[in-house]
Amino acid sequence: MGHTRLVVIGGDGSLTGANLFRQEWSSLLDELLSTGKITQDQRTKNKSLNVAGMAGLIDNEFCGTDSALHRTIEAIDTIVSTAYSHQGTFIMEDMVRNSDYLAIMAALACEADFVFIPERSVGQRLNISIVSEGAIDCEGKPSTAEKVKQVVVDKLHQDTRITVLRHVQRGGNPSAFDRVLGCRMGTEAVLALMEADDKTEPCVVLLDGNQAVRVPLTECVERTKAVARTMADKNWEMAVELRGRSFARNLETYKMLTRLKPQKAVMHISAMACDMNAAVRSFVRNCIYRGNSVISIQEGIEGLVAGNIKYMGWSDVTGWVGQGGAFLGTKCTLPERKFKGDAARLKEHVIQALLIIGGFEAYHAAGQFTDQRDNYKEFCIPFVVIPSTISNNVPGTEFSLGTDTGLNEITEICDRIRQSAQGTKRRVFVIETMGGYCSYLATLPGLVGGAGAAYIYEEKFSIKDL
């Protein structure tokens, strides 16, 4: 057939098999030549095989992972309300055997009280527990959902139910992120093959820092084998390290958010964006975990001047992760012309650090506070900004809080409108998105939603173009 450029999409087994296939390619051609199935000219023309791998599996931050995580969160959310209203324990078993990414991320996103993974089991209370399919105890023995249930029933005498997700995680429509990721990685794989020659080492197309990168296939296979070896040797710390910095940080964040231990403040300055509440919850519990008291400032700068301030406890932010909106309230007012009142409130409540969650207004507010440090010593404290705007138009980050949720909402609406459009003739459907002078929310949905055209601020157009 003359096909010498191969894209392999799959997990460790598929990629390992592709590498072996490439290594044996020359001997396979010799075998075909000796049996007369190909000619010497065909043997010479197709002497080498170029391979580009694409990781397509749900268990390790590749194509399909975000969609599987959506399924997991949806399943847990449907059970959470029942769990909170009953004196019982609910155990969720995910399907991934030897990787814990889904379990850790689901535990973070759904406020699970306990998570069982191969590296270690962490948590505090037992209300919602997540068990990775391949979880093991410190002796290397399987920690199945049934065993966890038996311990809870025997020791705590609680009514305990098990929900096994399994193939539910693999099904359903892909999320907006996975659609974009698949497009980008497929393009990169084609470019890798087109640029390859006889001496090019096979590669795997991966995502690193939101950029598609090419990594030698043999390196990826060896790293996977190294994780398996450290697990067999019960070297849990090294196994976590080999999973990567992102996994290690997620695990540490989950441990901090689920451990209760004995003056910082948090506020919003900008238009509302989804996931503001999740950021506040994480900030509050991390501070309490580290021994700090936390103050919430309601309604932004105006609330600070008016003294609309509340001390936050551990339970005050329970359930905030999955809730949209901004429970603290948010306004776009900047501190200029209110510096005296702001300084007085910071001094009154002995606020020693301030987290501002928001878009460009948050950036400007932090800058105005620091510019006034010579005039108000109360502003000589750390200021930190978390970018939060659905427009994704602030510097310093490729993603801001609320952007992916906004993108998913637009994608879902486009999918519904497309179904109606396909059943009509001579009709055009126009969808207007937010975003101001940044067209992220128009460009990406145009890509993943199959729009006929996307008219954006960055590319000028006229009536003639329309």
* Predicted confidence (pLDDT) per residue in 86-125, tens digit: 667 888 787 665 566 778 888 888 878 788 876 556 555 5
pLDDT digits (tens, 9 = 90+) for 126-185: 577 888 877 888 777 888 888 888 888 888 787 888 888 767 777 777 888 888 888 888
- pTM for the structure as a whole: 0.65
pLDDT digits (tens, 9 = 90+) for 226-284: 888 888 888 888 888 887 788 888 888 887 777 655 489 999 999 998 889 999 999 99
Mean pLDDT, range 384-399, rounded to an integer: 90
Residues 316 and 347 in one domain: yes
| 200 occurs within a structural domain | yes
Please give the Cα distance from 59 to 229 (Å, whole number): 19
For residue 409, CA distances in Å to 216, 375, 415, 429, 451 come to: 37, 45, 10, 17, 15
Residues 373 and 320 in one domain: yes
Mean pLDDT, range 442-449, rounded to an integer: 84
Residues 410 and 383 in one domain: no
Least Cα distance to 54 among 98, 17, 14 occurs for 14
* In the chain, % of residues over pLDDT 70: 91
Angle between the N-to-C axes of helices 236-243 and 217-232, in degrees from 0 to 180, rounded to the nearest 10 = 160
Residues 44 and 133 in one domain: no
Place 418 in a pLDDT band, splitting at 50, 70 and 90.
confident
Residues 152 and 88 in one domain: yes
pLDDT at 262: 46
pLDDT at 212: 85
Residues 80 and 107 in one domain: yes
| 118 occurs within a structural domain | yes
| 399 occurs within a structural domain | no
Domain end point (choices 242, 257, 282): 242
Residues 37 and 90 in one domain: no
Structural domain including 326 reads 266-387
pLDDT at 83: 67
pLDDT at 290: 83
Residues 48 and 73 in one domain: no
Domain end point (choices 115, 149, 170): 170
pLDDT digits (tens, 9 = 90+) for 306-319: 999 999 999 999 98
Please give the Cα distance from 363 to 395 (Å, whole number): 9
Domain end point (choices 119, 142, 170): 170
| 137 occurs within a structural domain | yes
| 459 occurs within a structural domain | no
Mean pLDDT, range 445-456, rounded to an integer: 82
Mean of the per-residue pLDDT values for the chain?
84
Convert 314-343 to b/e letters by CB count within 10 Å (16 or more is b).
eebbeebbeeeebbbbbbbbbbeebbebbb
Residues 370 and 435 in one domain: no
pLDDT at 120: 58
Catalytic residues: 59
CATH number for position 220: 3.40.50.450
| 133 occurs within a structural domain | yes
Q: Is the pLDDT of residue 8 over 50?
A: yes
Q: Is the pLDDT of residue 61 over 60?
A: no
Residue 50: Cβ within 10 Å count: 21
Residues 50 and 182 in one domain: yes
Least Cα distance to 273 among 370, 361, 338, 366 occurs for 361
Q: Are strands 128-131 and 88-93 parallel, antiparallel or unpaired?
A: parallel
Q: Is the pLDDT of residue 53 over 80?
A: yes
At 455, list the tokens.
Answer: 């008219």
Mean pLDDT, range 61-66, rounded to an integer: 63
pLDDT at 96: 61
User: Where is pLDDT greater, at 124 or 217?
Assistant: 217
Q: Is the pLDDT of residue 356 over 50?
A: yes
Residue 126: Cβ within 10 Å count: 19
* In the chain, % of residues over pLDDT 90: 23
CATH number for position 110: 3.40.50.460
Place 361 in a pLDDT band, splitting at 50, 70 and 90.
very high
Residues 108 and 162 in one domain: yes
Residues 237 and 190 in one domain: yes
At 294, list the tokens.
Answer: 């936390």
Least Cα distance to 341 among 396, 383, 303 occurs for 303
Mean pLDDT, range 369-386, rounded to an integer: 94
| 465 occurs within a structural domain | no
| 393 occurs within a structural domain | no
Amino acid letter for position 123: G
Look at the chain and report how many structural domains it folds into: 4
pLDDT at 384: 96
